[in-house]
Amino acid sequence: MSSTSTAHVTADTLAVPDGRLYYEVRGQGPLVALVAAPMDADAFAPLADLLATEHTVLTTDPRGIHRSVLHDPHQDSTPELRADDVSRLLAHLDAGPAAVLGSSGGAVTVLALAQAHPEQVHTVVAHEPPLLGLLADRTELLAREDDMIATYLAGDRLGAGRKFLANANIHLPEEVVLGMFGGEPEPRAAADEHFQYLHMIRGTTRFRPDVATLHGGATRVVVGLGEASTDQICDRTSRALAAALGAAPAMFPGGHLGFVEDPGAFATRLREVLADG
């Protein structure tokens, strides 16, 4: 059980062809899955506890991160592979069809899930998907992303972190930046960070959703956007996706990590969005 949890949590792993997926289940009622990338299940624990009063809530570590271990740790983590992972977990629980919230890279995962396995999900909320390929200046943005990764591989973790924030158009106080990217993280966090830079970022930001399939499919697709994310890169990508799907984004409290910043307000808004369907 996570140390941040107040609800009863059942933790287990599920074998997949190329590894094992760690997942947690709490609560009872209609199934809601919370999906992130690169963040793990722990990040969703406070939100999951709140939703567990009326839902069965599934959270998971994405493949290659923390407790979800791959046989080949050098394998890339694509949105399609992560979507298949979520599909296997939903089938294993046999409690669907589910509502699914994905955040950041997890938002890209759940879009791929809605495309490949629409029968398993009745509603997908894609909160701030970093789909750089949808933007007119994608060539420049992707080149800057490649430079960021090269900076990390050269051993300059702080420099890469600064470039990440610059590319995302996120402005933080210097002491916060140093706290996030200065020094060396503990080994597990360092391994997750390494996997993210080398094997997750490019496949996630370069994913091109099949808008026609998403728009015409049986799954309800909602694009979520943080009220405090104005002018950030995920504000632009979220609005671009929402426009392509022919609907305004659903606004959520907070910024890119609103579910961490104020899980109570985020849970209230998520309940409203799910009820609207």
**Domain layout of the chain by residue ranges:** 9-136+207-276
Of 116, 55, 56, the closest CA to residue 83 belongs to 116
**What integer pLDDT is reported at residue 96 of this predicted model?**
81
Q: Which residue has the higher pLDDT, 2 or 51?
A: 51
* Residue 2 vs residue 117, higher pLDDT: 117
- Between vectors from CA 230 to CA 229 and to CA 232, what angle results, nearest 5°? 70
Q: Please state, as a whole number, how many other Cβ atoms lie within 10 Å of the Cβ of residue 176.
A: 11
Q: pLDDT value at position 170?
A: 95
Return the closest-CA partner of residue 101 out of 240, 252, 213. Answer: 252
What was the pLDDT predicted at 267?
Answer: 98
Q: How confident is the model at residue 229 (pLDDT cuts 50, 70, 90)?
A: very high
Per-residue pLDDT tens digits for 71-114: 999 999 999 999 999 999 999 999 889 999 999 999 999 999 99
The answer to whether residues 59 and 24 touch, using CB atoms and an 8 Å cutoff, is: yes
Q: What pTM was computed for the model?
A: 0.95
For the cut 70, the answer to whether the pLDDT of residue 2 exceeds it is no
**Alpha helices (H) in the chain, listed in sequence order:** 45-51, 79-93, 105-116, 138-153, 157-168, 174-181, 187-195, 201-205, 211-216, 233-245, 258-261, 263-276
Q: What is the mean pLDDT of residues 226-245?
A: 98
pLDDT at residue 3 above 50? Answer: no
Cβ atoms within 10 Å of 205's Cβ, excluding its own: 22
Report residue 6's pLDDT band, with 50, 70 and 90 as the boundaries: low
Write down the CATH number for the domain with range 9-136+207-276. 3.40.50.1820
